[in-house]
Amino acid sequence: MFQMIGAEWCDKCRQAKKLLQERGFWDFIQYIDYDSPEGKEIATKLGVEKIPFFLEDGKLLHYIGEVLHRLNEKRIKQTYGGEN
């Protein structure tokens, strides 16, 4: 599962969300508001101070490019099957 921790007031968060939507990946993302108790707890636990940031199965991913790469890999595996 992929999660994005961001905020509506954050320009980079809005840009990341828009990019994920344009690429057809937004439905694979669980969005967590940074200003919510859950968002603050995740950021504190991981020591992250800048948003947006992303998680894949609990593993920290800092960059949208890495998220797009992993989502593309997932889509290819689902489309063509197998691990290669």
24/77 Cα distance (integer angstroms): 16
84/62 Cα distance (integer angstroms): 25
CB atoms within 10 A of CB 46: 14
**Reduced to 3 states, what is the DSSP secondary structure of residue 22?**
helix
Higher pLDDT, 83 or 80: 80
pLDDT more than 90, % of the chain: 80
Residue 82 has pLDDT above 70, yes or no: no
- pTM, two decimals, is 0.87
Predicted confidence (pLDDT) per residue in 13-46, tens digit? 999 999 999 999 999 999 999 999 999 999 999 9
The per-residue pLDDT for 22 is: 95
**Beta pairing partners, 60:** 55
Segment 36-63 shows an average pLDDT of 94
The per-residue pLDDT for 84 is: 53
